[in-house]
Amino acid sequence: MRQEVLRMERVSCQEQGVVQLDGFNISILSGEIMGLLPVNNHGLTALLRLLQRNTPLRYGYVYYREEQVNTWRNSKQRSNRIGLIQSESCLVEGLTVADNIFVLRPEFKTWLLRPSVLRKQLLPFLESIDIYISADTYVGELTAFEKVVVDVLKSVVAGCKLIVLREISSNICEAELKKIHRLLRHYADQGISFLYIDFHFEELRQVCDKVALMSNGRIVKILRSSATTPNAFQNYTKAYSGKVKQQINRPEPVQSGRSPVFEAKGITSELVNDLSFTAASGECVVLQTVDVQVFGELLSVISGTSVPTSGQILINNKAAIPHIGKDIAVIQELPTKTMLFKELSYLDNLCFLLDHRLPEVWRNQNIREGIRREYAGVLGKDVFDKRVDALSEIQKYELVYTRVAIQKPKVVFCVQPFRRADMELRMHIWGLIKMLLDKGMAVVILAVNLADSLSLADKLIRIRRDKPDEVYSRSEFSAMSISAPWIDLYRDTR
């Protein structure tokens, strides 16, 4: 007889007058890996908060380990012992792995720390999962994969019977993700349950026993992975798949005779080894790496902030230090949080870095008014009068990408553009990148996980440590042994 680790029965809750969860029903048994596929982000944050802190309910019941921990009648708001692991780790970077796992526990009462004892305690855990991480390494020095492993171990050691994983794969490559899946299965066999949240069904299918589809704060269906086909969620992915199909069938830009506007020739630095690639106008190149730090180094080399050990950058076949805004533009990871200025108006945000094209833009109000009139048709009239932090997520993305489009750079670097985006937003971002490509810009996507990027790519370059980089053209995608969402569509058109 299995224990029911979590049961949420007809849970409804609201925050600031907005219903976040509405008749939410889910049950997770011990040793079960339950996938959660949200069609949209609605209610997801409220769900995680509710699971951890038992926030007040409008209606419904929550049971953890078969005990009622929260009801609409009486919300004690006590914390549940549930581990939460997200792509941004909550570990303390300045402490060692052993300290994070053992010392930062509420039950840890020892005053005198003995690293040798902690090392000994950690060893059996690492041996059982067949992954080696030094107990004395500072968490700040770990890779994203190792951080997830430490996070899981921390939750296991803390006695959590349910561990929630939210979009952990965005910074982890496929091979490492497989190791994480093995790790989860190992602990699931020992009775620990997992709620694995991700926006890609293909990923959930690899590891989960069941997959729950969440839409507008409700679970609409729970499918057993063994009996589930991608067609099960066809209604929700039809529009996206249609766009991808259209993209796959378009002619390859290089084949249509366009010369490269950007070329990296044998770039070598601390983390990058002899990287060469070209990007033609209207071409989408995806650079995949297992180490997120490579992106930072690559971007600083490309933007001229740091000098590579060897190699050079060519813009329009001429060696040059690229000019940000004029030659290249960088759309950072989670751009709505990193690239918008709340203190500036919508229009000022839109005109940011435009002075290389229109030097008078900040002095001449008429130019800015002209831009407003021109883009009101594209972005909507209302948005110009709104505060930037009052915009919806989609409007914020539109603002960032349109700003880049106005700058008309030759090449746009997008760092993990689909990260944290739900299905609806991903479609939108996809459309915005497509808009940049249609305007003749080259787009270079820097990604760890290929999930959505591959659907836009004309060329894929996999940056390998201590190995030559692997280059794939679009016609070769179908032969790749990866489980990206749209890989079947490439196979179908083969």
Partner 1 sequence: MSFWRKRREYLSFRIAALSVWMVGLGICGALSIIPPSVVIFSILAIIAAGWIWIVRPYFKAEEMIRLFLEGYAISATEMSRNCAISPSTQLLFEQLREVLSPTQLFDMNKRQAQYLALQNQINPHFLYNTLESIRSEAMLAGLNDVADMTESLATFFRYTITKVENLVSVEEELQNCETYFSIQQYRFGDRLKLSIQCAPEDKDEIYRCRIPKLTMQPILENSIIHGTELKVETGHLAIYLERTEKRLLIRISDDGLGMDEETLMSINEKLGRGNFSIARQEQEANGGLALVNVDNRIRLLFGDEYGLHVFSIPGVGTDVEITMPAISSDRDIKNSEVLQ
Interacting residues with partner 1 (CB under 8 A): 1-4, 7, 9-10, 22-23, 25, 27, 29, 59, 61, 66, 68, 71-72, 213, 215-216, 218-223, 231-235
Contact present, 272 and 297 (Cβ < 8 Å): yes
Nearest by Cα to 233 from 27, 38, 489:
38
Specify the residue, 200 or 459, whose C-beta has the smaller distance to partner 1. 200
Specify the residue, 4 or 393, whose C-beta has the smaller distance to partner 1. 4
In the complex, the smallest distance separating the C-beta of residue 161 from partner 1, rounded to whole angstroms, is: 13
In the complex, the smallest distance separating the C-beta of residue 23 from partner 1, rounded to whole angstroms, is: 5
In the complex, the smallest distance separating the C-beta of residue 202 from partner 1, rounded to whole angstroms, is: 17
Specify the residue, 28 or 254, whose C-beta has the smaller distance to partner 1. 28
Spatial separation of the C-alpha atoms in residues 309 and 293, rounded to whole Å: 17
Specify the residue, 30 or 455, whose C-beta has the smaller distance to partner 1. 30
Contact present, 267 and 300 (Cβ < 8 Å): no
Contact present, 101 and 184 (Cβ < 8 Å): no
Contact present, 154 and 106 (Cβ < 8 Å): no
Spatial separation of the C-alpha atoms in residues 23 and 125, rounded to whole Å: 39
In the complex, the smallest distance separating the C-beta of residue 3 from partner 1, rounded to whole angstroms, is: 6
Strands (E) in 408-451, as ranges, are 411-415, 442-447
Which tokens in the block code for residue 479?
A: 């032969």
In the complex, the smallest distance separating the C-beta of residue 486 from partner 1, rounded to whole angstroms, is: 21
Q: What ranges in 88-200 are assigned the alpha helix state H?
A: 97-98, 115-129, 144-157, 174-189
Spatial separation of the C-alpha atoms in residues 417 and 409, rounded to whole Å: 18
In the complex, the smallest distance separating the C-beta of residue 233 from partner 1, rounded to whole angstroms, is: 8
In the complex, the smallest distance separating the C-beta of residue 388 from partner 1, rounded to whole angstroms, is: 32
Specify the residue, 19 or 248, whose C-beta has the smaller distance to partner 1. 19
Spatial separation of the C-alpha atoms in residues 287 and 269, rounded to whole Å: 16
Contact present, 4 and 180 (Cβ < 8 Å): no
Which tokens in the block code for residue 333?
A: 């990871």
In the complex, the smallest distance separating the C-beta of residue 367 from partner 1, rounded to whole angstroms, is: 47
Contact present, 18 and 196 (Cβ < 8 Å): no
Helix (H, G, I), strand (E, B) or coil at 478: helix
Specify the residue, 39 or 456, whose C-beta has the smaller distance to partner 1. 39
Residue 320 half-sphere exposure, CB side, CA atoms within 13 Å?
14
For the CA atoms of 300, 275, 89, 193, the dihedral, rounded to the nearest 10 degrees, stands at 160
Spatial separation of the C-alpha atoms in residues 488 and 490, rounded to whole Å: 5
Q: In the chain, how many H helices and how many E strands?
A: 14, 20
Specify the residue, 159 or 230, whose C-beta has the smaller distance to partner 1. 230
Which tokens in the block code for residue 180?
A: 């994480």
DSSP state of 251: P
* Longest pairwise C-alpha distance within the chain: 74
Specify the residue, 112 or 227, whose C-beta has the smaller distance to partner 1. 227
Specify the residue, 202 or 252, whose C-beta has the smaller distance to partner 1. 202
Sign of CA dihedral 276, 282, 286, 292: positive
Helix (H, G, I), strand (E, B) or coil at 141: helix
Specify the residue, 75 or 306, whose C-beta has the smaller distance to partner 1. 75
Nearest by Cα to 173 from 474, 433, 462, 417:
462
Residue 97 half-sphere exposure, CB side, CA atoms within 13 Å?
25
In the complex, the smallest distance separating the C-beta of residue 34 from partner 1, rounded to whole angstroms, is: 13
In the complex, the smallest distance separating the C-beta of residue 82 from partner 1, rounded to whole angstroms, is: 18
In the complex, the smallest distance separating the C-beta of residue 381 from partner 1, rounded to whole angstroms, is: 32
In the complex, the smallest distance separating the C-beta of residue 438 from partner 1, rounded to whole angstroms, is: 33
